[in-house]
């Protein structure tokens, strides 16, 4: 059968052939993603070699050769192959709760669980209502009552005995709650063009704080703040560190919020003014809701940084999660198992931070409605 | 916003019978608010200064920087460029601390940039395994507090590594042990300064060659080769001087003496731990910045550049990098600043940086205000210098819009 115009044979239509076996399935994926080209093949082989060198010994140390049973330190010292999780079993309450009175440790535990519940609750956008702020303040009040005691028949516990994870969370949560309104004011102040003095004060504050390390602020809070107070007034070490953290975070946070404010089109300001709103009405009803919405993902990132930075209070001798861990292997018997301790709290820090960074990425996608600029 | 408010206020005050009351005039209100706020701040400051003076009097601490001349009386484990002894003054101790901060920050910035760029590109690799490994690195480093990482490195070096006498011999002439890192350096030779001069001359030669190449390209349309000749000039000139000087190859290799290594150069465990921590931590952040910067340049740019006949290197140098750098530079600046500020965590592991020296001096003299102000002033200066330099660079590469 020949086509009269082209003179070529016109075969019967055939079913499409399957792609070659080397481009589909596991083989195809391997070819496409690991062995496309000599350079990638070389990289794959190198990476596999590296994994083979690192992963099996690591897993052996972490799991298979590790001691999980509750045994004394001597047994652990004899097992040189694997990790000694007996150390964590022995000391986990010291690591998690620091020097908090042993028989009262259910209080920080309840408090931490409640805070985690409130944090989880706040992650849902449908609860982003004004009353959420009140929920946070209430949760914080209950938390402080639980830790401090003195009322409802709870034994009073001095704040210098608070420690471990509850202290880390306290520093972070109070930092979040207090630094936010402060940084709003700073951001608005920095953009107040008709008040040059206020603007200069805000710029000076923000740039000064952002230019120095947090540790210098912590030193300032522990050595200079007592000098600033009238004679006879002493401030609790915890409050001093908390003030330093709030001061530090608020300057970074205000720059994030300023970014959101700058991203709003001018028309929003002009429209609000045309409707005759006052400055605060305009900010509250028109500007801030939009500006904060834009800057929520970087705000979460700033909080993530702050959560990690709370570990610096260990340098000024507050028994947070990090310092409590260091104290847990202070006695020579367990001295050599510091790696296990660090791995344990690294997992705690990592879970919090990883969750926050994933959540901020999720928000970035969920909130992007094309409103920027 | 201001003009609008003023115009509105002006327009309303036009009819004489309805003059705006003075307390409703935005300009007057702005002035009143500012006076109130400024007054409040000044009052607060005066109150704090008064308290401070009373407290200082009560503790009989003399203010002022007079103690800078006094004998410090504490030894500093390592000092670069300055020969410091315990009998030297506090001022000199602060200078040593500052130099130590700068040393670890500079080396850290260079290493973190190298690792960060490699990891950022690796995360975009078409090789699935490499990309996954790089993202594991980034997620682990970014989500664990730096101080914890520093403690870990310091513990690992000072506890898990072998003792000095059984040091790990990583490469010929490089020894790693609890005492830090010992490595061989070339024995001082009169030809070394000349090699430095030759290198500087090589930079000059490169500039001249580059100008000639541009001129030649403008005249003939053919771009002469750049990579090989430029490298040749940079490496060749010092190499030639080295050969003329008799090609000295003598190395000062560390030898294990009675208690410790003699000769060679060494790095303390504190410095090593701080450098490792800062580098790996910051590299995690830099990798994300590099990745975001490269992803932000649309693929069409590469295709268009290839379509007009640019070579691969030219596509990278002339089209991709200028656009990616514009996005990469500002966040990189703040990471460099962060690294410098984070080097202050040295105090936790005993590396004698600025904060650590200030802390010791503060505890010895009780001059809290002076020591902390000096420390803050130094960091502010460093921060402002780095941001000034990077802003200048950023303006140079910024998009010029017409």
Give B335-387 pLDDT, tens digit per residue.
898 899 999 998 888 888 889 888 888 888 878 888 888 889 999 998 888 87
The arithmetic mean of pLDDT across residues B80-88, rounded, is 73
Q: What is the DSSP letter of A84?
A: B
Nearest-CA distance A51 → chain B (Å): 9
Pairing of strands B251-252, B185-186: antiparallel
Testing the interface with A: which of B41, B147, B284, B386 to mutate, by most A Cβ within 10 A?
B147
The CA dihedral of B207, B212, B213, B216, to the nearest 10 degrees, is 170
Reported as a single tens digit per residue, the pLDDT across A147-157 is 777 777 777 77
Domain match, A272 and A168 both: yes
Give the list of residues 6+ apart from residue A287 with CB closer than 8 angstroms, or none. Answer: A261, A264, A268, A269, A272
- In this predicted structure, the answer to whether residue B171 has a pLDDT above a threshold of 80 is no
* Residues of A whose CB is below 8 A from B125: 40, 43
* Residues of B whose CB is below 8 A from A339: 152, 155-156, 160
Please state, as a whole number, how many other Cβ atoms lie within 10 Å of the Cβ of residue B127: 22
Is A135 among the domain residues? Answer: yes
* Residues of A whose CB is below 8 A from B383: 210-212
Is A263 among the domain residues? Answer: yes
Whether residue B133 lies within 8 A of chain A, CB to CB, comes out as yes
Task: Report the distance separating Cα A1 and Cα A8, nearest Å.
Answer: 9
Task: Report the distance separating Cα B160 and Cα B183, nearest Å.
Answer: 20
Is A272 among the domain residues? Answer: yes
Partners of B183 in the beta sheet? B174, B265
Identify the band that residue B8 occupies on the pLDDT scale cut at 50, 70 and 90: low
Name which of A219, A231, A354 is nearest B55 (Cβ-Cβ).
A231
Tokens of B120: 């950022």
- In this predicted structure, the answer to whether residue B198 has a pLDDT above a threshold of 50 is yes
Higher pLDDT, B68 or A358: A358
- Look at B147 and A36 and tell me if their CB atoms are within 8 Å: no
Domain match, A283 and A339 both: yes
Is A156 among the domain residues? Answer: yes
User: Which of A107, A134, A162 delimits the end of a domain?
Assistant: A162
Nearest-CA distance A34 → chain B (Å): 5
Higher pLDDT, B198 or A156: B198
Q: How many folded domains does chain A comprise?
A: 2
Give the list of residues 6+ apart from residue B113 with CB closer than 8 angstroms, or none. Answer: B283, B286, B332
Tokens of B131: 């990309």
Higher pLDDT, B256 or B210: B210
Q: Which of A173-182, A197-206, B145-154, B162-171 has the lowest mean pLDDT?
A: B162-171
Q: Could you say which residues from 303 to 362 on chain B have a Cβ atom under 8 Å away from some Cβ of chain A?
A: 341-342, 344-345, 347-348, 355, 358-359, 362
Higher pLDDT, A114 or A80: A114
C-beta separation of B74 from B93 below 8 A: yes
Reported as a single tens digit per residue, the pLDDT across A6-50 is 666 666 778 888 777 667 777 777 777 777 777 778 888 888 888
Domain match, A155 and A284 both: no
Tokens of A175: 């930092």
Domain match, A126 and A154 both: yes
- In this predicted structure, the answer to whether residue B17 has a pLDDT above a threshold of 60 is no
Domain match, A250 and A361 both: yes
Q: HSE (CB half, 13 Å, CA atoms) of A98? A: 24
Domain match, A232 and A155 both: no
- In this predicted structure, the answer to whether residue A98 has a pLDDT above a threshold of 60 is yes
Task: Report the distance separating Cα A253 and Cα A183, nearest Å.
Answer: 6
Higher pLDDT, B16 or A219: A219
Chain A residue closest in CA terms to B347: A315
Task: Report the distance separating Cα B74 and Cα B337, nearest Å.
Answer: 30
Among candidates A49, A95, A88, A56, which has minimal Cα distance to A71?
A88
Chain B residue closest in CA terms to A316: B348
Reported as a single tens digit per residue, the pLDDT across B103-126 is 899 999 999 999 999 998 888 887
- In this predicted structure, the answer to whether residue B334 has a pLDDT above a threshold of 90 is no
Identify the band that residue B1 occupies on the pLDDT scale cut at 50, 70 and 90: very low
* Residues of B whose CB is below 8 A from A51: 133
Task: Report the distance separating Cα A176 and Cα A352, nearest Å.
Answer: 15
* Residues of B whose CB is below 8 A from A364: none
Whether residue B139 lies within 8 A of chain A, CB to CB, comes out as yes
* Residues of B whose CB is below 8 A from A43: 125, 127, 129-130
Name which of B30, B127, B133 is nearest A40 (Cβ-Cβ).
B127
Task: Report the distance separating Cα A138 and Cα B249, nearest Å.
Answer: 73
In this structure, what CATH number is given to the domain that contains residue A239? Answer: 1.10.3720.10
Q: Report helix, strand or coil for B340.
A: helix
The arithmetic mean of pLDDT across residues B298-309, rounded, is 89
Domain match, A116 and A186 both: no
Chain A residue closest in CA terms to B285: A305
Please state, as a whole number, how many other Cβ atoms lie within 10 Å of the Cβ of residue A36: 14
User: Which of A140, A162, A184 delimits the end of a domain?
Assistant: A162
C-beta separation of A215 from B347 below 8 A: yes
Is A44 among the domain residues? Answer: no
Reported as a single tens digit per residue, the pLDDT across A202-260 is 888 888 898 899 999 998 888 888 888 777 777 788 888 999 999 999 999 998 888 88
C-beta separation of B96 from B357 below 8 A: yes
Name, of A79-93, B311-325, B329-343, the range with top average pLDDT. Answer: B329-343
Reported as a single tens digit per residue, the pLDDT across B220-254 is 877 777 778 888 888 888 888 888 877 777 777 77
- In this predicted structure, the answer to whether residue B164 has a pLDDT above a threshold of 60 is yes
pLDDT over 70 percentage in chain A: 95
Domain match, A208 and A326 both: yes
pLDDT attached to residue A372: 44
Tokens of A23: 């481009």
The distance from CA A81 to its chain's CA centroid, rounded to whole angstroms, is 34
For tokens 């802390």, name the residue. Answer: B359
DSSP symbols for B361-389 = HHHHH--HHHHHHHHHHHHHHHHHHHHHH
Is A230 among the domain residues? Answer: yes
Nearest-CA distance A206 → chain B (Å): 12
Among candidates A257, A293, A287, which has minimal Cα distance to A270?
A287
- Look at A338 and B51 and tell me if their CB atoms are within 8 Å: no
Task: Report the distance separating Cα B55 and Cα B62, nearest Å.
Answer: 11
- Look at A211 and B38 and tell me if their CB atoms are within 8 Å: no
Identify the band that residue B148 occupies on the pLDDT scale cut at 50, 70 and 90: very high
Among candidates B38, B15, B39, B11, which has minimal Cα distance to B26?
B11
- Look at B1 and A193 and tell me if their CB atoms are within 8 Å: yes
The arithmetic mean of pLDDT across residues A115-127, rounded, is 84
Q: Which of A2-16, A203-217, B47-61, B313-327 has the lowest mean pLDDT?
A: A2-16
Tokens of A78: 């004899």
- Look at A44 and B54 and tell me if their CB atoms are within 8 Å: no
pLDDT attached to residue B401: 56
Domain match, A118 and A156 both: yes
Q: Helix axis angle, A164-190 relative to A288-309, nearest 10°?
A: 140
DSSP symbols for A227-276 = HHSPTT----HHHHHHHHHHHHHHHHHHHHHHHHHHHS-HHHHHHHHHTT
Chain A residue closest in CA terms to B350: A315
* Residues of B whose CB is below 8 A from A350: 140, 143-144
- Look at B133 and A47 and tell me if their CB atoms are within 8 Å: yes
pLDDT attached to residue B275: 93
Name which of B344, B355, B368 is nearest A227 (Cβ-Cβ).
B368
Task: Report the distance separating Cα A109 and Cα A276, nearest Å.
Answer: 51
Q: Report helix, strand or coil for B178.
A: coil
Whether residue B185 lies within 8 A of chain A, CB to CB, comes out as no
Task: Report the distance separating Cα B248 and Cα B190, nearest Å.
Answer: 10
Among candidates B48, B94, B49, B46, which has minimal Cα distance to B70?
B94
Chains A, B: CB pairs < 8 Å: 162
Tokens of A207: 């740039």
Tokens of B272: 């090593």
Is A55 among the domain residues? Answer: no
Reported as a single tens digit per residue, the pLDDT across A327-352 is 888 887 777 788 888 998 999 999 99
What is the length of chain A? Answer: 373
Task: Report the distance separating Cα B305 and Cα B293, nearest Å.
Answer: 18
Task: Report the distance separating Cα B168 and Cα B158, nearest Å.
Answer: 14
Radius of gyration of chain B (CA): 29
Is A67 among the domain residues? Answer: no
Give the list of residues 6+ apart from residue A250 with CB closer than 8 angstroms, or none. Answer: A178, A179, A182, A183, A186
Testing the interface with A: which of B129, B277, B284, B366 to mutate, by most A Cβ within 10 A?
B129
Radius of gyration of chain A (CA): 29
Whether residue B4 lies within 8 A of chain A, CB to CB, comes out as yes
C-beta separation of A198 from A268 below 8 A: no
pLDDT attached to residue B6: 52
Whether residue B373 lies within 8 A of chain A, CB to CB, comes out as no
Domain match, A152 and A139 both: yes
User: Which of A107, A142, A162 delimits the end of a domain?
Assistant: A162
Please state, as a whole number, how many other Cβ atoms lie within 10 Å of the Cβ of residue B345: 27
Name which of A194, A195, A224 is nearest B372 (Cβ-Cβ).
A224
- In this predicted structure, the answer to whether residue B61 has a pLDDT above a threshold of 80 is no
Domain match, A222 and A354 both: yes
Domain match, A153 and A270 both: no
Core vs surface per residue B182-197: b (16+ CB within 10 A) or e:
bbbeeeebebbeebee
- Look at B1 and A273 and tell me if their CB atoms are within 8 Å: yes
Chain B residue closest in CA terms to A211: B380
Q: What is the value of ipTM here, to two decimals? A: 0.84
**Domain coverage including residue A132:** 99-162
Tokens of B147: 């101080």
Name which of A208, A214, A219 is nearest B359 (Cβ-Cβ).
A219
C-beta separation of B337 from B112 below 8 A: no
């Amino acid at each position: 059968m020949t086509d009269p115009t082209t003179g070529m044979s016109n075969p019967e239509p055939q079913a499409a052939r399957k792609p070659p076996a080397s481009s589909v399935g596991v083989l195809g994926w391997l070819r496409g993603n690991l062995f496309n080209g000599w350079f990638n093949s070389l990289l794959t082989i190198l990476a596999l070699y590296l994994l083979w060198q690192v992963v099996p010994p690591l897993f052996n140390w972490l799991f298979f050769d590790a001691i999980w049973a509750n045994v004394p330190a001597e047994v652990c010292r004899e097992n040189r192959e694997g990790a000694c999780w007996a150390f964590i079993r022995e000391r986990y309450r010291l690591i998690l709760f620091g020097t908090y009175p042993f028989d009262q440790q259910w209080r920080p535990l309840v408090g931490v669980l409640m805070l985690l519940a409130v944090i989880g609750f706040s992650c849902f956008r449908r609860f982003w209502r004004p009353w959420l702020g009140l929920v946070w303040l209430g949760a914080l009040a209950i938390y402080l009552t639980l830790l401090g005691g003195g009322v409802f028949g709870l034994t009073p516990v001095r704040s210098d005995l608070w420690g471990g994870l509850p202290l880390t969370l306290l520093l972070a949560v109070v930092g979040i709650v207090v630094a936010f309104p402060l940084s709003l004011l700073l951001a608005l102040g920095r953009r107040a063009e008709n008040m040059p003095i206020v603007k200069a004060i805000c710029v000076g504050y923000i740039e000064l704080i952002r230019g120095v390390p947090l540790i210098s602020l912590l030193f300032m809070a522990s050595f200079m703040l007592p000098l600033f107070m009238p004679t006879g007034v002493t401030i609790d070490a915890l409050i001093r560190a908390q003030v330093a953290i709030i001061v530090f975070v608020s300057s970074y946070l205000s720059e994030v919020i300023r970014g959101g404010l700058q991203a709003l089109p001018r028309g929003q300001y002009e429209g609000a003014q045309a409707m005759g709103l006052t400055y605060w009405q305009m900010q509250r009803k028109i500007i801030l809701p939009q500006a904060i919405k834009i800057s929520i993902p970087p705000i979460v990132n700033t909080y993530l940084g702050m959560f990690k930075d709370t570990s610096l209070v260990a340098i000024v001798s507050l028994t947070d999660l990090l310092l409590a861990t260091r104290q847990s292997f202070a006695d020579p018997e367990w001295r050599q198992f510091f790696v296990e301790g660090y791995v344990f709290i690294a997992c705690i820090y990592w879970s919090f931070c990883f969750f926050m960074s994933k959540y901020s990425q999720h928000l970035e996608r969920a909130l992007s409605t094309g409103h920027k600029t | 916003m201001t003009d609008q408010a003023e115009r509105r206020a002006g327009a309303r005050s036009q009819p004489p019978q309805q003059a705006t009351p003075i307390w409703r005039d935005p300009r007057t209100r702005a002035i009143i608010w500012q006076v109130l706020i400024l007054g409040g701040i000044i009052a607060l400051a005066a109150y704090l200064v008064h308290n401070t003076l009373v407290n200082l009097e009560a503790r009989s601490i003399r203010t002022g920087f007079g103690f800078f001349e006094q004998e410090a009386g504490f030894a500093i484990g390592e000092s670069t460029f300055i020969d410091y002894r315990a009998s030297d003054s506090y001022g000199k101790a602060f200078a040593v601390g500052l130099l130590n901060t700068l040393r670890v920050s500079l080396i850290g910035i260079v290493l973190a940039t190298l690792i960060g760029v490699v990891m950022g590109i690796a995360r975009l690799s078409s090789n699935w395994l490499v990309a996954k490994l790089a993202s594991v690195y980034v997620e682990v480093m970014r989500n664990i507090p730096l101080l914890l990482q520093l403690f870990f490195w310091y513990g690992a070096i000072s506890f898990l590594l072998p003792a000095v006498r059984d040091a790990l011999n990583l490469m010929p002439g490089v020894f790693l042990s609890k005492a830090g890192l010992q490595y061989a350096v070339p024995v001082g030779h009169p030809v070394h300064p000349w090699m430095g001069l030759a290198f500087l001359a090589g930079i000059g030669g490169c500039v001249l060659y580059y100008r000639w190449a541009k001129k030649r390209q403008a005249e003939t349309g053919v771009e002469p080769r750049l990579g090989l000749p430029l490298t040749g000039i940079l490496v060749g000139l010092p190499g030639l001087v080295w050969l003329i000087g008799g090609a000295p190859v003598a190395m000062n290799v560390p030898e294990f003496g009675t208690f410790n290594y003699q000769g060679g150069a060494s790095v303390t465990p504190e410095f090593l731990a701080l450098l490792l921590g800062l580098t790996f931590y910051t590299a995690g952040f830099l990798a994300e910045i590099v990745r975001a910067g490269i992803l932000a340049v649309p693929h069409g740019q590469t295709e268009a550049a290839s379509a007009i006949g640019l070579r691969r290197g030219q596509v990278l140098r002339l089209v991709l990098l200028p656009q990616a750098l514009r996005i990469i530079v500002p966040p990189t600046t703040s990471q460099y600043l962060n690294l410098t500020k984070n080097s202050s965590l040295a105090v936790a592991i005993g590396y004698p940086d600025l904060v650590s020296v200030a802390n010791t001096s503060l505890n010895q003299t009780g001059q809290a205000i002076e020591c902390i102000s000096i420390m803050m002033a130094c960091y502010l200066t460093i921060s402002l210098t780095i941001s000034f330099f990077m802003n200048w660079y950023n303006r140079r590469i910024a998009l010029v819009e017409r």
